[in-house]
Amino acid sequence: MDALHTGPAASLDRFFLPRSVAIIGASDDPARIGGRPLRYLKESGFGGAIYPVNPNRAEVQGLKAYGSVQDLPEAPDVVLIAVPSAHVRDALRACGARGAKAAIVFSAGFAETGEDGVVLQEQLLDIAGGYGMRLLGPNCLGAFNAETGFYGTFSQILDASRPKPGPVAIVSQSGAYGSHLAHLAGERGLGIRYFLTTGNEVDVDVAEGLLWLAGRPEVEVILAYAEGIKRPEIFLRALALARANRKAVIFMKVGRSAVGAEAIASHTAALAGSDAVYDAVFRQFNVHRARTTAEQVDVAYACARGIYPKHNRLGIFTLSGGFGIQMADAAADAGLDVTPMPEAAQAELKALLPYASPKNPVDATAQALTDLNLMSRYLATMLDRGRYDAIVGIFGSGPASPTFREPLRAALEAAIAGFPDRLLVLTVSAPRDIVRSYEEKGFLIFEDGHSAITALAALIRIGAGFDIAAAEPPAAADAGADLRGRQLSENDAKMLLGKAGIAFPREALATDPASAVRFAREIGWPVALKIVSADIPHKTEIGGVLLDLASEDAVRAGAALILDRARLARPDAVIDGVLVAPMLKDGVETIIGVVRDPVFGPVVMFGLGGIFVEVLKDVTFRVAPFDKAEALRMIHEIRGYRMLEGVRGMPASDIDALADTLVAVSVFAAQHADDVTGLDLNPVLVRAEGQGAVALDALIMTAPAPRRGQE
């Protein structure tokens, strides 16, 4: 199965682009699970062959039926299996024997019901694998392709009508959620091209679905839903491909709360990675993580228009001051730039209408409703002179008026005619057909102003993310030895990490008090002394650290003291000596760490030291490895970032060196994904600009040694 699992998802063609489909358990009743897909396939004019399989009937829904899979005139590209769970194995075997390339198992009653179901489900995978078949489900709602009319699904939302094809695709672990999304997107007028629900994911999963969709030129927006990710390498490849191909991915990842995560555990076998890591992955790969379903659809709606504003300059056009202010508040919260009109342009607008407020929000008062020519000039002036990337116009129920809607639309069209790369977003409350008539002219329509701003901000962020060059895998030094089973002292860790490009203070390992004094003289006063032994990971516990020693006598006595303490506390320990280090205090304390996420593997954490980490949890994560641009984004992301810019008379910190350190840690972590389980650089002192970032302490935790017979 591995080749299929890690392949380029090409084999998902069978689920999206089949030329023939068989239905095991085909029913004459178009309301039943085995009847509904047949009805949809017929009604939508699917061009391929449709083979109902039913041993009790000659015809099903007017189509010739086959008594068994063996009787089919050809090997079908895909089979839909709609029989009780106990019969699925037999059905799958028969399909495999007949040469079917893929199966969609609608039937429930597998892993979601308990341990017996897990076993049964694994058997399905074995059967399919034996025949080289790909498997979707079980316990899923199937897939569809609205363009070809292939409806391999029994989703009830298709009862009334089939979606119009368009640039949007949906991939969802949950069938119910996927259907809900398709319904809402359809209501919003979005064309849905592809739909895939993965259910229990015994073979095909959301990650692979994403990978397939990310490679399709006709897809521009992907709506995704998952409770957990099982194959992170495919998932990350899919997200990278989507970004490279400039496809917006808008993700609902549930299980954020501890409560939510528990609900997942009792619902599916999916492994929910730590939520902060998912947040990091989404940021890293330019995925918009939707907090609500309404937001998910709103952002998709904005992206489907296909215009990504170049910058975040927003103009607000209103006929009533209060609404304009509210919009300006929301825009500022969302990080948009509600910059004023140039003074001269303001004067021009004022000359047109003395009561107007021409700054931004531009309030043309109700006068603009009686003089639509004035409205056009106002809007055109905003686009031309204000150079806004997008304008939000607040119109309320005006466009609902039968006499007003046509002239208003014409006035808006006239305004934007010369600006094909700008967006005109309107807040409008009107019946759907009127909204559609505005959308056809290229306007984005939202009922709620706040939703409009949220979607617009997301659109701009996603567009900017496309332009960030895909991270080059940073240049990797020699990975060095496998560290499994090795206990590493602070000195060992510093040697390894020093080779990996991480800066440490000038330190020296003294084996006796006299050499400690000699090193201290070289390093400069005052110094710190630390015991070095791989057998003593927690040095302070045995009194193995002395700080701020400022004289030769103090160093001599101190070195002797901690060597004695170590021998007394751990008589069997192998003691390498005493580390002599300078006492560095200038700079901002930060923390860099590596944790091994159960889903995504080595993840680099960055934060400010002290209370920022301990009280405020002000940290951010990235999956390793990453490049310097990404490291800089991490650094800017933390709430305490201003500390690094210099506050209270402190100089600005060497952020450049800090970013280099983060990249080096990420490369090291990626190279040692299997043998290093954790890493702490605490603190990393970021000194003034040009003076670098040095780690004062280093700890590497390693995986256990492989048992005999393992590599």
Residues interacting with a second copy, by CB under 8 A?
Answer: 112-113, 157, 173-174, 176-177, 180, 183, 225, 227, 252, 254-260, 262-264, 266-268, 291-294, 319-326, 328-333, 338, 340, 354-355, 357, 359-361, 363, 396-397, 429, 448-451, 611-612, 614-616, 639-640, 642-643, 647-648
- Closer residue to a second copy (CB): 389 or 576: 389
Residue 409 CA to residue 422 CA, distance in Å, equals 17
- Which residue's entry shows tokens 């089973």? 485
- Closer residue to a second copy (CB): 113 or 691: 113
Residue 122 CA to residue 50 CA, distance in Å, equals 29
Q: How many CB atoms lie within 10 A of CB 584?
A: 13
Q: Shortest gap between Cβ of 53 and a second copy (angstroms)?
A: 25
Q: Shortest gap between Cβ of 671 and a second copy (angstroms)?
A: 34
Q: Which residues contact 39 (CB under 8 A, 6 or more apart)?
A: 30, 61
- Closer residue to a second copy (CB): 255 or 558: 255
Does residue 130 sit in helix, strand or coil? helix
Q: Shortest gap between Cβ of 611 and a second copy (angstroms)?
A: 7
- Closer residue to a second copy (CB): 328 or 496: 328
Using alpha carbons, select from 84, 118, 81, 111 the residue that is nearest to residue 96. 81
Q: Shortest gap between Cβ of 491 and a second copy (angstroms)?
A: 27
Backbone angles phi, psi at 550, to 5 degrees: -120, 5
- Pair of tokens at residue 620: 């951010």
Q: Shortest gap between Cβ of 35 and a second copy (angstroms)?
A: 17
Using alpha carbons, select from 666, 605, 624, 619 the residue that is nearest to residue 236. 624
Q: Shortest gap between Cβ of 526 and a second copy (angstroms)?
A: 19
Q: Shortest gap between Cβ of 568 and a second copy (angstroms)?
A: 25
- Pair of tokens at residue 293: 């379903």
Q: Shortest gap between Cβ of 599 and a second copy (angstroms)?
A: 17
- Closer residue to a second copy (CB): 345 or 517: 345
First to last CA, the chain: 23
Strand partners, 685: 589, 694
- Closer residue to a second copy (CB): 31 or 584: 31
Q: Which residues contact 440 (CB under 8 A, 6 or more apart)?
A: none
* Residue 134, H or E segment: strand 134-136
- Closer residue to a second copy (CB): 357 or 487: 357
What is the residue-wise DSSP string for 395-426? Answer: EETGGGSTTTHHHHHHHHHHHHTT-TTSEEEE
- Amino acid code (one letter) for 361: P
Q: Shortest gap between Cβ of 183 and a second copy (angstroms)?
A: 7
Q: Shortest gap between Cβ of 519 and a second copy (angstroms)?
A: 32
Does residue 168 sit in helix, strand or coil? strand
Does residue 183 sit in helix, strand or coil? helix
Q: How many CB atoms lie within 10 A of CB 693?
A: 25
- Amino acid code (one letter) for 28: D
Q: Shortest gap between Cβ of 643 and a second copy (angstroms)?
A: 6
Does residue 388 sit in helix, strand or coil? coil
- Which residue's entry shows tokens 């709609």? 82
What is the crossing angle of helices 432-439 and 405-416, to 10°? Answer: 20
Per-residue CA distances from 345 to 215, 311, 328, 387, 394 (Å): 46, 20, 20, 11, 21
- Closer residue to a second copy (CB): 218 or 447: 447
Q: Shortest gap between Cβ of 171 and a second copy (angstroms)?
A: 13
Residue 154 CA to residue 82 CA, distance in Å, equals 10
Does residue 283 sit in helix, strand or coil? helix
Does residue 252 sit in helix, strand or coil? strand
- Closer residue to a second copy (CB): 363 or 490: 363
Contact 104, 33 (CB under 8 A): no
- Closer residue to a second copy (CB): 287 or 336: 336
- Closer residue to a second copy (CB): 59 or 447: 447
- Closer residue to a second copy (CB): 416 or 643: 643
Q: Work out whether strand 676-686 and strand 619-623 pair parallel, antiparallel, or are unpaired.
A: unpaired
Q: Which residues contact 489 (CB under 8 A, 6 or more apart)?
A: 532, 533, 534, 536, 537, 576
- Closer residue to a second copy (CB): 29 or 467: 29
Contact 166, 77 (CB under 8 A): no
Exposure of 115 in the CB half-sphere (CA atoms within 13 A): 0
Q: Shortest gap between Cβ of 110 and a second copy (angstroms)?
A: 11
Q: Shortest gap between Cβ of 140 and a second copy (angstroms)?
A: 12
- Closer residue to a second copy (CB): 113 or 245: 113
Q: Shortest gap between Cβ of 112 and a second copy (angstroms)?
A: 7
- Closer residue to a second copy (CB): 475 or 615: 615
Q: Which residues contact 44 (CB under 8 A, 6 or more apart)?
A: 146, 149, 151, 162
Contact 352, 377 (CB under 8 A): yes
Per-residue buried b or exposed e for 216-247, using 16+ beta carbons within 10 Å of the residue's own CB? eeebbbbbbbbbbbebbebbbbbbbbbbeeeb
- Closer residue to a second copy (CB): 272 or 581: 272
Q: Shortest gap between Cβ of 542 and a second copy (angstroms)?
A: 18
